[in-house]
Structure 1
Amino acid sequence: MDLALLRTFVTVHRAGSFTRAAALLGLSQPAVTSQIRTLERQLDRPLFLRQARGVTPTTFGDELAHRAAPHLDALVEIAEAGLDEESGVRTLHLAGPPEFTSLRALPALTPLISQGLALRASFVGNAQEALEGLAAGHHDLAIATARPRGGLLGSTPLCDEEHVLVASPRWAARLGSGVLLHKGAVVLEQLPVVEVHESLPFVSRYWAAVFDSRPPAAGTVIAPDLRAVLECAASGAGLAVLPRYLCRSALESGEIVALLDPPVPPLRTYFLVVRTGTLALPHIARAHEGLLRAAADW
């Protein structure tokens, strides 16, 4: 069996689409379609069911992917290891949210550098992007806020982050002590909002969990990095919802103030995700174990 055909098949299986697989492989969509048809003829079995929005693997296709993918990944790893033989350094490709990866994951992995590990980080804006890149072989490990489905990716809960509703002391003084607790979200309707995206993902999640409602305001300041959101909130730009780990120092110093202390604070879980079978590779296993051990203190 032609390994190039098998590689294309696994990429389509992971991507769920001939179009996405073609982009990942650097091929045209007709070339990918032709390769899959060739492999199906060789095996005398259909591998995918064609649908309007992509493809779904047949039972045989699913079984073949589960059996073949770990071995193909291992071959890629062997090839990459050959590139590193002269220096004795193994490279780990890690993907995750920019703030969490910068402030927590990368510092936790730096002790492994002395053991011959090199790090390459990719910052991704959402969980789906991280999981798709991992499935396509662009990353060795991914940190995501969603648990992957299917058997090609395996995940382990890494840690939970608590979300805090914050603002500058000036805005907190305008609200007054205890007003928010008694009157609820209505008192926040006129406050400007600082967020990472126009859809207000952090504020919306907080409002749903704590106030059982949707935030009425649009974002006043949109900055696609939580560290920028923190700085804007501290400077008085408006209220924000931030992970406690990110804003703990600013809370302790008084740069920002927590506007509410709900009995059950909203939480978001991070998952450490790998391709099935790749934990057999020592450098990935060491990084995986190092992150889980560090997360015990997070």
Structure 2
Amino acid sequence: MNLDLLRTFLTVHRAGSLTKAAAHLGLSQPTVTVQVRSLEEKLGKQLFVRRAGGVTPTGVADELAGQLGLHLDALEEVIDGVLATDPGNQTLQFGGPPDLTTAKVIPALACLIERGVRVRTSFGPPDQLIEGLVAGRHDLVVSTTRPRQAGLTVEPLFEEEFVLVAGVCWAAQLPDEVTTDGGAALDQVPLVSIGEGLPIVGQYWTTAFNRQPRMRPAIVVPDLHAALSAVIAGAGMSVLPTYLAAEAIRSEQLVRLYDPVISPKNMLYLVTRTGLCQPQVKVAWRHLMAEAEYW
């Protein structure tokens, strides 16, 4: 019998809710549901009756929880005690996109240092990060695309919104209404991009102006922080996440060129291996999910 199934069952029994149990375990609700159903199939017994707002345990579930509770709690205390005495096991291997990791994730994880958690971060594109997660090189990953591989627990973390900005000198040269002729006036402004293929700019132009951008980038930089610096320095315009550009806009270092009816957005996902229950992974998962509500 898989101990993860028993642990999930006991957490659902105690929480009275699949959603609350998922939050406690650091798993997605669908994963918890699948694990409960899997245990029910193995036992050949129904364990919970689904109802609005939660679940009600059956008599079989109450009996099973009573027999398992003390034993599983004792086992977890032993495991947590071993981990607590081995600092190497308290290291969280985190991977994510460089800009969000630098601006939001690292500050959010800083408080875990007081709890004895060591954090090691690495950057990379989503495919590379997920490959590292599956291979065990990462414990926790923020991905800009939703992974579809089996054996992963995935939750939406943060929806980033994008804004079109330029330095003050360039903004002053543009008409008040840049949407005239599908934003044609913008074609004459130098573009700062994180790639020759205009990955973020192309998404913005399609959503805001219903066409592909016609310009080629004047400057190509490796990340969005570099793009922010270039635009503030007067290099032209760029499309940046609002969390990165907001302070420069407030301080009037940058000007927001357009406020579309529908702002381009992109969901980022928090990902770990299903069943990965080390204390540092669980606490980091819960902390990031809570902090992201204010990003």
With over 3 angstroms needed to count, the CA separation of the structure-2 counterparts of 1:134 and 1:88, relative to structure 1, is closer
Question: How many residues matched?
Answer: 217
**Deviation beyond 6 Å, 4+ runs, structure 1:** 81-84
Q: How far apart are the structure 2 equivalents of 1:239 and 1:288? A: 35
In structure 2, the residue corresponding to 1:174 is in which secondary structure? coil
Whether the aligned pair in 2 keeps the contact of 1:127 and 1:144 (CA below 8 Å) is yes
Calculate the TM-score normalised by the size of structure 2: 0.70
Q: How far apart are the structure 2 equivalents of 1:89 and 1:273? A: 19
With over 3 angstroms needed to count, the CA separation of the structure-2 counterparts of 1:88 and 1:144, relative to structure 1, is closer
Specify the alignment match of 1:39 in structure 2: none
Structure 2: gaps (5+ residues): 1-80
Calculate the TM-score normalised by the size of structure 1: 0.69
Specify the alignment match of 1:264 in structure 2: 262
Q: How far apart are the structure 2 equivalents of 1:99 and 1:255? A: 19
Which residue, 226, 244, 248 being the options, matches 1:228? 226
1:96 aligned onto 2:93? no
Q: How far apart are the structure 2 equivalents of 1:86 and 1:274? A: 22
Compute the displacement of 1:102 (Å). 1.0
Structural mapping, 1:67-82, within 5 Å = none
Whether the aligned pair in 2 keeps the contact of 1:159 and 1:295 (CA below 8 Å) is yes
Which residue, 194, 214, 217 being the options, matches 2:215? 217
Q: How far apart are the structure 2 equivalents of 1:160 and 1:176? A: 31
Q: How far apart are the structure 2 equivalents of 1:89 and 1:283? A: 8
Whether the aligned pair in 1 keeps the contact of 2:130 and 2:141 (CA below 8 Å) is yes
Deviations 1:235-258 (A, max 9, x none): 111110000000111000111101
Structure 1: gaps (5+ residues): 1-80
Structural mapping, 1:237-276, within 5 Å = 237-276=235-274
Q: How far apart are the structure 2 equivalents of 1:181 and 1:218? A: 19
Aligned CA-pair RMSD? 2.1
Q: How far apart are the structure 2 equivalents of 1:95 and 1:88? A: 18
Specify the alignment match of 2:138 in structure 1: 139
Structural mapping, 1:272-291, within 5 Å = 272-278=270-276, 280-291=277-288
Whether the aligned pair in 1 keeps the contact of 2:179 and 2:209 (CA below 8 Å) is no
Whether the aligned pair in 2 keeps the contact of 1:88 and 1:116 (CA below 8 Å) is no
In structure 2, the residue corresponding to 1:165 is in which secondary structure? strand
Compute the displacement of 1:142 (Å). 0.4
Q: How far apart are the structure 2 equivalents of 1:113 and 1:171? A: 43
Whether the aligned pair in 1 keeps the contact of 2:90 and 2:279 (CA below 8 Å) is no
Compute the displacement of 1:101 (Å). 0.4
Matched to 1:187, the amino acid is: A
Matched to 2:261, the amino acid is: P
Specify the alignment match of 1:117 in structure 2: 117
Compute the displacement of 1:181 (Å). 2.9
Compute the displacement of 1:150 (Å). 2.9
Deviations 1:141-185 (A, max 9, x none): 00011111132212100011110001011111111212x133322
